[in-house]
């Protein structure tokens, strides 16, 4: 079952514009991770934000986390055609055995046009 839901499902923008993707989840988390995937194969880790953090930056990426609203956002600034990919959020939740379980949403497909 999916824990996170990304919004929008698809996003189309021009190069140079900013892209914002949102993720909502249902249960308490230990951390939330954003991933990128090109052509349906391996996922590339982008950023991990812990439940006690509110914002993190990495290059052109900015992630926010609002645990009261159970939501996160990923902002890509000054987008490039090479940013075209699917982006997924994944939440690390405590499973019944007391261990973290990493659950993915359905993703946002981002298309950046030159």
Partner 1 sequence: GAGVSQTPSNKVTEKGKYVELRCDPISGHTALYWYRQSLGQGPEFLIYFQGTGAADDSGLPNDRFFAVRPEGSVSTLKIQRTERGDSAVYLCASSLTENTEAFFGQGTRLTVV
Q: How far is the CB of 33 from partner 1 (least distance, A)?
A: 7
104 binds partner 1 (CB under 8 A): yes
* Nearby residues of 26 by Cβ (< 8 Å), 6 or more positions away: 3, 70
Determine what percent of the chain falls in helix, strand and coil, rounding each to the nearest 5. Answer: 5, 60, 40
2 binds partner 1 (CB under 8 A): yes
Q: Which stretch binds partner 1 (CB under 8 A): 42-50, 54-62, 64-72, 76-84?
A: 42-50
Cβ proximity to partner 1: between 50 and 54 the closer is 50
For residue 67, what is the enclosing H or E element? Answer: none
User: Contacting partner 1 (CB under 8 A), which of 20, 31, 67, 84?
Assistant: 31
CA 106 from centre of chain: 10
What is the dihedral sign for C-alpha 68, 62, 21, 104? negative
Residues that bind partner 1 (CB under 8 A): 2, 30-31, 33, 35, 40-45, 48, 50, 88, 90, 92, 95-97, 99-107
């Amino acid at each position: 079952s999916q824990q996170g839901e990304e919004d929008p499902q698809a996003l189309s923008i021009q190069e140079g514009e900013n892209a914002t993707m949102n993720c909502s989840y249902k249960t308490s988390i230990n951390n939330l991770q954003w991933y990128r995937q090109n052509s349906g194969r391996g996922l590339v880790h982008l950023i991990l934000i812990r439940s006690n953090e509110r914002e993190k930056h990495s290059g052109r990426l900015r992630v926010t986390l609002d645990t009261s609203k159970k939501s996160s956002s990923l902002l890509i600034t000054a987008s490039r055609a090479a940013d075209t990919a699917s982006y997924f959020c994944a939440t690390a939740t405590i499973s019944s055995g007391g261990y973290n379980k990493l659950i993915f949403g359905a993703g946002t497909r981002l298309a950046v046009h030159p």
